[in-house]
Amino acid sequence: MASSEHSTRVGLIGYGTAGKDVAEAILGGQAGDSRLVAVLVRDVAKYAGITLDGCQFTDCEETFFASAPDVVVETAGHAAVIRYAETSLAHGCDFMIVSVGAFCDQALFDRVMASAGRHGKRVLVPSAAIAGLDRIAAAAQGPLERVTLTTRKPVKAWRGTFAEEVVDLDTITQPTVIFEGNARESSRVFPESVNVSAALSLAGVGFESTDVRVLIDPSIDKNVHEVSAKGRFGEVRIEVRNTPSPSNPKTGHIVAMSVAKTLKDLSSPLVIS
């Protein structure tokens, strides 16, 4: 898509699996009238051979914000949220957070919200790997009695995680529950894998009141999220089966699609939420 002088200027933090997919979506016109102006990485030398139209790679925070992004998109994990959320808002940027599990830290969440209010900017939470956040958020306007999330992921998604200390991933044959508790606890245990529980909590009844079950399931090849909620509005049950990314099975293609859709909404005359 050709960019106009009024395009939404996007700064991207992180260029791993999700970051690359987001960059491709923006450059491919899937993010509406958006233009990628800068990518902030840890070591710019690693990306010396990569060229993105009209965009610079940098490992310098000052250079990144000097590119004057309208919105900063975080795809680099909880540490990036802690380091850059308030800074982005203070620089006059909206902040789009993918690693929303970072907000299980109530003190961090409160600081970021205060900063957003102080600077007149917004924190944007794309639905990413989950569906139905619009329904849950609407239902939360009336009393919500219960919200439950059950997450099941195939064995390959748990390689390199704490699950290897709990279960022998090479011999597991049956679906195995490795966590039961509330969303705040789950976000701490699975900081990079269960961001969906945090997003669901923010949309609905909060971290403490959102029940979460997490399973390793050797019988599936997709990441499965099941949401159920009950309240004054009635009841809802949603099941999402996300195709894992080949390069990082802990995430899915839908994450970048969701970010692109949220960016598109910023410049679209029609917003379907």
**Residues in CB range of 66: below 8 A, 6 or more apart:** none
The one-letter amino acid code at 238 reads I
78 is catalytic: no
List of residues 6+ apart from 234 with CB closer than 8 A: none
Only one residue has tokens 């999330």, namely 149
Are the CB atoms for 132 and 228 separated by under 8 Å?
no
Residue ranges of E strands in the chain: 8-13, 34-40, 56-58, 71-74, 94-97, 123-124, 144-153, 176-182, 210-216, 223-231, 234-242, 244-245, 248-252
- Which is catalytic among the residues 6, 78, 91, 225? 225
Active site residues: 225
